[in-house]
Chains A and B, each alone.
Chain A
Amino acid sequence: MVVSARITNFLAYSSLTVSRVSHLGNGSLRYQWLLSRNTSLLQLRSKIQTAVPSITSNVSVPKENIPTADALVRPDLEGLYEDIREGLTNTQPELRQIAQYYFNGEGKAIRPVITMCMARAINYHLDQNAPGVIQKQKKIAQIAEMIHTASLVHDDVIDVADSRRSRPSVNILWGQKKSIIAGDFILAMASGMLARLQNQQVIILLSQVLADLVQGEFMQLGARENKDERFAHYSEKTFKKTASLIAYSCQAVSVLSGADSTLQSIAFQYGRQLGMAFQLVDDLLDFIATSAQVGKPVAADLRLGLATAPVLFAAQKFSELNPLIMRRFQEPGDAETAFRLVLRSDGLQRTKELARQYCNDAVTQVAQLTPSPYQQALVTLAHQLLHRMK
């Protein structure tokens, strides 16, 4: 069965709009939709396929008004951020302030949404209804968000950031030292929560995430001499930095539900493929978004010296990019040159293709679960992710 394709004609749009759809209430989620009036970009966009890929046949056709993942699990995630803040209150006032700062509900909460959706889908598949299970799975969602946020706090210090989510970053407000300590504190509290779930395997899975996050960060610091190794290095780094947390969280909730290793693998693989796609889309948007905004001519990743998928693909067409990649775009004009060459190449197109491939893989995985609104929502999540690239 083929899902109906939606082809949007951007040439018809003449205004630049960035609108955020904000769900009110605690644990609010935001989606960013970006439209552009930059002509060269429009020409590029009209070449990019906007059709949603077809899915395997044993999944029912999603109807027009099928609930999105976040709508479905919103009751489960009600109070997610309050609960996290609650868990961080029992300490010195200033530490409490810093630790709670990024848990104000402004984040996208994509990790808790994916985690809870997978939890519900697996529970349905296994006919698992014990109330204790869902409680523990909610804790995993909290822990995943805490681990993610702790890494954001450390990233802001490492990257010398000055803002995040339109507010000053923690290091600007409290200095580097206290921010790092606060990040450790959040991690410690998450570990304590993890221990209290009373499940050895879950602890092993999520502590592996911590190791992966650090290793991913280290990998990002190093550049591969050999250009043939670069994409493999980028993929591995992407897994460790982004997909690992999502993959192991999905596996963890499946473990709590009583899944055997086959089912755990499905959960893990879905999380992994979706996580990889998520990062690819982010890397893609870093190019498209900034080219559409006046006064911000180069992608943030380039400025940080990072060669992401679009650049790596472009380098296969324009080998003059290789020295720029090796010196991490440090010389004046490097970032601009790289940006131009990426847009001229098929780098963005190939990135999108790769993201679509990962999404397809993710969908294939969850197609093996018993159909349910939650299982359906996991499929929809993959589609929504691809849709962000429009």
Chain B
Amino acid sequence: MVSRSCLIRWKTRHLGSSIHPAVSFSRSLFASSQVYQTSWVQAVSNAEKVVGFPTSFLSLRSVANDEISNIAVYLKKLIGTGHPLITTAKNLVYSNDKTHQTRGLLVLLMSKAAKRESGQDILPEQRTLAEITELVHTAHLIHTGVINLNTPNANLEMGNKMAVLCGDFFLAHSCVQLATLQNLKVVELIAQAISDYSTAEFIDIIASENDSALDRWSQQMTLRYGSLIAHACQSTLILGNNVELIESGKSFGLEIALAWQANIEIQSFKSNANRADHVLSKLFPETPFVDVVANFQAVRDRHVNAALKILTAFPQNDASLALGNIARALKY
């Protein structure tokens, strides 16, 4: 069995409009809770056995393809520039470990969970969709990692350049792959997801007349992460012709995305020294640490429970069980 690395990649979200270039901004944090880490890793690892690893060309070392090895060259250049995206680039180039491709895994699990007969296997198109989901997400990570440079800085400019081009490459490759699926609705859904995550960058989490700060957080996260996972789940069910489960798949995708992101915020809040700047402090201002954590855990658990409830619509099999385990693992 492949050994699991202890480093799990988290995304930390900074709400400031620009990131100071001097700050080397790592996107990885160790999980604060050992219990969470174990149960999440366990759930994901078991799930992979059910569906096989998400097929992905992202373990770049192993691929001889000319285009892809060029990308590896450019990502390595990114690593050399001191750009904040170093960690992301490193994970793409040097990691043979597939635990970071959770979105692809969710798509594969959803594909299998919907199969009513035990003999049915995941379709090649569904595997391609899983890969596309990972590609789009990677493009998103890379493009949102581009930094604002007000003063000329050759290294960081080169870093930005690499980031833009590599992100563009992943997006373009996704579009070409999408076209091969021969399904117009799926193309539309994934295009919508890209448009949604772009829009999310322009939403702020400030309470307004109609929306509380928490509402705004939900809206932003729905657009930023929920849309891709939800639409990917929806798409895979379309490809699998599981018409009656399409809406459930979409809703499940959304709930699991929100639960997952809520959990990320909680874990990073717990382990972060500088809590004042953290998004949870902004969502629950002037609240003691313990209460903030409890409040947000309640939010997270609501989403987990909603996801579990939706899962009951799916046939009972290894895959739907694995999905349930992953959802429950978020509760720690």
Chain A residues at the B interface, C-beta cutoff of 8 Å: 91-95, 154, 157-158, 160, 175-178, 180-182, 184-185, 187-189, 191-192, 194-196, 198, 200, 203-204, 207-208, 210-211, 213-215, 217-218, 221
Contacts and interface: CB of A to CB of B under 8 A. Distances in A.
Contact of B199 (A91, A198, A200): A91
A194 B171 contact: no
Contacts of A185: 194-195, 198-199
Given A92-B199, A158-B161, A192 B144 contact: no
Contact of B157 (A160, A191, A221): A160
Nearest to B152: A160
Given A175-B18, A214-B165, A181 B187 contact: no
Contacts of B176: 207-208, 210-211
Contacts of A207: 172, 175-176, 178-179
A91 B195 CA distance: 9
A160 B144 CA distance: 18
A180 B175 contact: no
B191 interface: yes
A93 B199 CA distance: 10
Given A175-B18, A208-B176, A195 B191 contact: yes
B271 to A, nearest CB: 26
Top 8 closest A-B pairs, CB basis?
A188-B195, A188-B194, A191-B191, A92-B202, A185-B198, A175-B148, A195-B188, A210-B172
A200 B146 CA distance: 33
Interface in B164-215: 164-165, 167-169, 171-173, 175-176, 178-180, 182, 184-185, 187-188, 190-192, 194-195, 198-199, 201-203
7 contacts: A157-B160, A178-B202, A200-B179, A203-B184, A208-B176, A210-B172, A221-B74
B175 to A, nearest CB: 4
B167 A180 contact: yes
B192 A192 contact: yes
Nearest to A194: B187
B57 to A, nearest CB: 14
B247 to A, nearest CB: 20
Nearest to A151: B168
Contacts of A93: 202
Interface residues on B, range: 35 or more
Contacts of A154: 164, 168
Contacts of B165: 158, 214, 217-218, 221
Nearest to B67: A215
Contacts of B148: 175-177
B146 A217 contact: no
A194 B188 CA distance: 8
B130 interface: no
B143 interface: yes
B35 interface: no
Nearest to B149: A176
Contact of B202 (A94, A188, A214): A94
Contact of A218 (B70, B190, B198, B199): B70
B51 interface: no
Contact of A188 (B70, B172, B191): B191
A157 B147 CA distance: 11
Nearest to A201: B179
**Listed residue (A177, A181, A187) with the most chain B CB atoms within 10 angstroms of its CB:** A177
Given A178-B201, A200-B179, A217-B168, 11 more contacts: A157-B160, A176-B146, A178-B202, A184-B171, A192-B191, A194-B187, A195-B187, A196-B188, A200-B184, A214-B168, A218-B74
Given A94-B202, A184-B198, A188-B191, A211 B172 contact: yes
Given A176-B146, A211-B175, A192 B168 contact: no
Contacts of B179: 200, 203-204, 207
A180 B198 CA distance: 9
A175 B150 CA distance: 8
Contacts of A200: 179, 182, 184
A316 to B, nearest CB: 28
A95 B191 CA distance: 17
A288 B52 CA distance: 60
Contacts of B182: 200
Nearest to B156: A176
A34 to B, nearest CB: 31
Contacts of A91: 195, 199, 202
Nearest to A189: B195
Given A208-B176, A215-B67, A181 B169 contact: no
Contacts of A217: 165, 168
Nearest to B195: A188
Nearest to B17: A175
B194 A191 contact: yes
Contacts of B173: 211
Contacts of B152: 160
Interface in B266-286: none
B178 A92 contact: no
A182 B198 contact: yes
Nearest to A202: B179
Nearest to A208: B176
A185 B182 CA distance: 23
A157 B143 CA distance: 12
Contact of B144 (A94, A95, A177, A208): A177
Contact of A95 (B147, B172, B202): B202
A211 to B, nearest CB: 4
B325 to A, nearest CB: 33
Contact of B198 (A181, A194, A198): A181
Nearest to B157: A160
